[in-house]
Amino acid sequence: MCGIVAYVGQREACPIILKGLKRLEYRGYDSAGVALLSEGNLNVFKKKGKVADLEAYIGDRNTSSNIGIGHTRWATHGEPNDVNAHPHYSSSKKIAIIHNGIIENYASLKQHLINKGYEFHSDTDSEVFVNLIEDIQKNNSVSLAEAIRLALHEVVGAYAIVVISHDSPTQLVAARKGSPLVIGVGKGEYFLASDATPIIEYTNEVVYLNDYEIAVIKDGTLDIRTKEDVVQTPYIQKLELELESIEKGGYPHFMLKEIFEQPRSILDSMRGRLVAENTQLTMSSIREYATRFKNAERIIIVACGTSWHAGLVAEYMIEEFARIPVEVEYASEFRYRNPIIREGDIVIAISQSGETADTLAALELAKSKGALIFGVCNVVGSSIARATDAGAYTHAGPEIGVASTKAFTAQVTVLSLIAMMIAEMRGTLELSTLRQLMLEMETIPSKVEQALQLDKEIQAISEIFKDASNFIYLGRGYNFPVALEGALKLKEISYIHAEGYPAAEMKHGPIALIDENMPVVVIATKDSSYEKIVSNVQEVRARKGRVIAIVTEGDTTIPQMAEFVIEVPSTHEALMPLISVIPLQLLSYHIAVMRGCNVDQPRNLAKSVTVE
């Protein structure tokens, strides 16, 4: 959840680290800090709040150094304040650590260290970690790297750490398990970060550290070993990330930029995979396991948050097109309820970051039971991408805004292609029907572009409802997951309470909430359940609810009932979520901005949930 940046080389470290922390602030923004080795002193500067608050705190103090570590925090152990901010000193103040993750057995380790005379100044598990390292180094007379290796055998949990020591002025030591860590390789310099965004400005060559690996960077060399001290050959990869893709590009917020990038990100997620003219679907990872997909008796989708909503859309598609039973599970619940998993099952794990802790744990459980694990994620080299048997990248590009937008539509795009491919292999769709679906799929980017042209109209509606206390979102069939996603977006960034429901369930409870003050967003596009949704709109209006309807262009029925109507282009009902979600993203964005909320960094949230 937190962001890590570190540097060692010939340049000034502090500006590189601070700029990197700003790029990683979407991962955590409760507090921030840096540790720098300068003139024989290990100096730590840290402050509650944003990286800008840290910069102001540092002011004109001397930060000249060629080596340093930095951290932006999303609180797990201990409230957000100056003391709990990272980096953390060891007891002697000769070692400092930055840590992303959670140490589950920190309480017993802390008590052990207290019994040995150690004092603690913060409430964090990370301070326990750094004192454990110091204690091992002192009592075993070993190097810092060896002390860290031994400490890793004692901690239980997830971690990505970088450690700096007063006694080793040219050395950084890093390690990971369950939390991401990337090493950028420059000319005589190295950059470390939680993801590649702080690195791309300086080098496009990176090494993705694997679980249980320790990296020692000293005197311009990189040495990687396992926790068992087995030497590893670093695998250097080329980044395809472009610097401009992680800048705002003239937009006031990353979220708005990413909403408007969706025509391109959807197209990029289809590119090379679909040629409707030849009825050609290409995804080598699916073809490689064609027999397993063709003969699958059940598909289980595991995901969290927005990815879970994309999984619901995929459930409807796969069952309709490929006629395979599908179960969509919250990854956080799946792993703890002793699920029944058979060797013939296929488990699809969906995650934007590819680092979601619960989803990783769920796929590891499924893998241990013999299921085929297929990943759908956005970040090349991420943990899920490396842990799965096969998978597909979404090619959405970097998503910096915490509230996911283009990742959702990219996931639905890739999952749609997967559903079509399985149906083709199983022969459950007529070729003419499949081709028609593919032709319609190719029109989606331009139709999303049309939906984005509704921005001003949606802005006007947002002004009317910006002070509402509650919202209800209703949808049927393929649009039910869209209702859930619309409600999630609104509550995430505007802090308005919002709930999504299947429209037919309204009569089973939620209808009691409807009065003249209740905005009800109804996704009412023309599909197989259109007549039913018309009835639901009438029920809301009869109780004086204020209806905001998302309808298909040319609809003449619902506009007579709804107070506000937003028309979107027509498409096949299975593909409608790719279009009908756009107005809901814009609605949540504009309401949040009008309420003065920080849409890119909503309170209590972080982009990548790498702890349970």
Angle made by CA atoms 220, 225, 231, in degrees to the nearest 5: 95
Tokens of 196: 């590649």
Contact 483, 309 (CB under 8 A): no
Q: Is 607 a catalytic residue?
A: yes
Q: Which residues pair with 206 in a beta bridge?
A: 184, 237
Q: Is 2 a catalytic residue?
A: yes
| Rounded-to-integer distance, Cα 146 and Cα 42, Å | 21
| Rounded-to-integer distance, Cα 515 and Cα 469, Å | 13
| Rounded-to-integer distance, Cα 323 and Cα 317, Å | 9
Cα 386 versus chain centre, distance? 16
| Rounded-to-integer distance, Cα 118 and Cα 136, Å | 13
CB-CB neighbours of 239 under 10 Å: 16
Angle made by CA atoms 144, 149, 155, in degrees to the nearest 5: 115
The closest of 67, 69, 26 to 50, measured between CA atoms, is: 26
| Rounded-to-integer distance, Cα 63 and Cα 231, Å | 35
CA distances from residue 264 to 271, 396, 450, 458, 585 in whole angstroms, order as listed: 10, 8, 13, 22, 17
How much is the CA Rg of the chain, to the nearest whole Å? 25
| Strand order across the beta sheet in which 470-475 lies | 497-502, 470-475, 519-523, 546-552, 564-568
CB-CB neighbours of 233 under 10 Å: 6
Contact 352, 286 (CB under 8 A): no
With tokens 């756009």, the residue in question is 582
With tokens 């990296």, the residue in question is 215
Contact 13, 164 (CB under 8 A): no
Largest separation between any pair of C-alpha atoms in the chain: 81
Tokens of 610: 């790498």
| Rounded-to-integer distance, Cα 552 and Cα 583, Å | 12
The contacts of residue 489 (CB under 8 Å, 6+ apart) are: 403, 405, 584, 585, 588, 589
Angle made by CA atoms 601, 603, 605, in degrees to the nearest 5: 75
> Which of the following is catalytic: 2, 304, 377, 597?
2
| Rounded-to-integer distance, Cα 393 and Cα 283, Å | 10
Q: Which residues pair with 300 in a beta bridge?
A: 327, 347
With the CA atoms of 122, 358, 392 and 486 taken in that order, what torsion angle do they form, in degrees rounded to the nearest 10? -90
| Rounded-to-integer distance, Cα 416 and Cα 31, Å | 40
CA distances from residue 551 to 413, 456, 548, 574 in whole angstroms, order as listed: 21, 17, 10, 15
Which helix (H) or strand (E) segment is 113 a member of? helix 106-115
The closest of 421, 426, 434, 513 to 469, measured between CA atoms, is: 513
**Residues classed as catalytic:** 2, 607
